[in-house]
Amino acid sequence: MMPAASDPGPPSTTPAVDVLVIGGGVIGLVTAWRAAQRGLRVTVVDPSPGGGAAQVAAGMLAAVTELHYGEEALLELNLASARAYPEFAAELAEVSGQDIGYRACGTLAVALDADDRAQLRELHALQQRCGLEAQWLSGRECRRLEPMLAPGVRGGLRVDGDHQADPRLLTAALVTACRRTGVEFRRTRAGKLLCSAAGGRATGVELADGGRLGAGRVVLAGGSRSGMLAGLPEELRPAVRPVKGQVVRVRMPQSRPPFLSRTVRAVVRGSSVYLVPRRSGELVIGATSEEQGWDTTVTAGGVYQLLRDAHELVPGLTELPLAETRAGLRPGTPDNAPLLGPSGLDGLLLATGHYRNGILLAPVTGEILAEVLTEGELPGRWQAFSPMRFAGVPA
Ligand code: GLY
């Protein structure tokens, strides 16, 4: 007999898998795919696989132009992933039959006034100290590369190694690649981490639909929500917080020469703005950076700021048709770097906290997590990203 609607009956227990991934965003998907390729039985738990921050992200692979003081360890990880991208994109296209919009287009970071130029000169000096390729250009040289730039551009940095991928195509291809590699999906939320009776080991999750899934290892890849999972020991709760980013999408004309041929970015009155032109004609204008908790409202002020700053860079863009406005949540961490590998609780691994670099870091994250899952340890080279560096830091 069917149980009454108010009586869900005893929770079902699904047979154990090797790896259970909580979160089907770009990081959860790439982890699942790489683990399945290594012969592990993998299930991803997510109500909407392929959703999340990647649906909003512009997809800049900006290891060099987004370099910041004090982030040299992160730079090494970013560069390793940027180098892996061409092969990663080709392999993913072969397995999934889907293109991910990887474009080796390069980036131009420009200055609009003397303050911006001084800031860009500082960035250039830091890039040079780190041995990175970046070339200083005059305003005229910038406009020769990108004729739609404002006449007032005072100079810029040409970075031919910072490219782009299309995050929406990337996640769609990863979902297909996961399916073709035998990954199972449970389209529900993970409600609670399950641990052994003595609490010394993660053993699976209780699902929001009442079921339970047992697993040899659990990978928490929940993006900005990673710290919210019930059942996590308090001292191991990942120090991840949501950092809101609003993004505007417009459509470029299919012209020759193209409206913009590479990513163009600037810091305008202290806020960063970037324009990422896709082959499809989409132009992504991003992004605000707001500490607003879980709010994902698209605000008039956020859109105004982006369009005002983008218009200063490329005045002609206000003629373009508006396609979309959207806000997403970056998973920020105290040092802006991700949390990768063993968590401090046996059986629980983290793959979260990728903050501004989730799309860029997909290839290297997949490799690192697959290695941790098969070898049991975080490779020595990447110890700086161990989640244990924040043990006890409140989420
Ligand atoms: N990496 C671009 C952003 O987070 O807005």
The tally of domains found in the chain comes to 2
Of 68, 69, 91, the closest CA to residue 362 belongs to 91
DSSP calls for 45-87: E-SSTT-GGGGT---EE-TTTT--TT-HHHHHHHHHHHHHHHH
Q: Tell me, yes or no, whether 328 and 253 share the same domain.
A: yes
Q: Tell me, yes or no, whether 247 and 311 share the same domain.
A: yes
Does residue 80 lie within any of the structural domains?
no
Q: Tell me, yes or no, whether 136 and 261 share the same domain.
A: yes
Cα dist from 292 to 187, 191, 229, 325, whole Å: 28, 24, 20, 18
- Could you report the per-residue pLDDT of 274-291, keeping only the tens digit for each? 999 999 999 999 999 999
Q: Tell me, yes or no, whether 221 and 251 share the same domain.
A: no
- Could you report the per-residue pLDDT of 252-277, keeping only the tens digit for each? 999 888 999 999 999 887 788 999 99
Backbone phi and psi for residue 95, each to the nearest 5 degrees, phi listed first: -70, -40
Does residue 225 lie within any of the structural domains?
yes
In angstroms, rounded to a whole number, what is the distance separating the alpha carbons of residues 51 and 66? 24
What residues form DSSP beta bridges with 157? Answer: 109, 136
Q: Tell me, yes or no, whether 174 and 301 share the same domain.
A: no
- Could you report the per-residue pLDDT of 82-113, keeping only the tens digit for each? 999 999 999 999 999 999 999 999 999 999 99
Does residue 304 lie within any of the structural domains?
yes
Q: Tell me, yes or no, whether 179 and 231 share the same domain.
A: yes
Tell whether ligand 1 has an atom less than 6 A from the beta carbon of residue 265.
no
Torsion (CA) 87, 89, 91, 94 in degrees, nearest 10 = -140
Taking the CA of residue 62 as reference, the ligand 1 atom at the shortest distance is 1
Tell whether ligand 1 has an atom less than 6 A from the beta carbon of residue 44.
no
Burial environment of residue 188 by CB neighbours within 10 A (0 to 12, 13 to 18, 19 or more): middle
Domain residue limits at 25: 14-55+169-240+335-390
pLDDT beyond 70 at 50: yes
pLDDT at 370: 98
What CATH number has the domain bearing residue 302?
3.30.9.10
Tell whether ligand 1 has an atom less than 6 A from the beta carbon of residue 60.
yes
3-state secondary structure of 183: coil
Q: Tell me, yes or no, whether 262 and 153 share the same domain.
A: yes
Tell whether ligand 1 has an atom less than 6 A from the beta carbon of residue 356.
yes
Q: Tell me, yes or no, whether 193 and 283 share the same domain.
A: no
Q: Tell me, yes or no, whether 327 and 386 share the same domain.
A: no
Q: Which of 332, 352, 380 is the last residue of a domain?
A: 332
Q: Which of 304, 332, 360 is the last residue of a domain?
A: 332
- Could you report the per-residue pLDDT of 212-242, keeping only the tens digit for each? 999 999 999 999 999 999 999 999 999 999 9
Measured by CA distance, the residue closest to atom 5 of ligand 1 is: 287
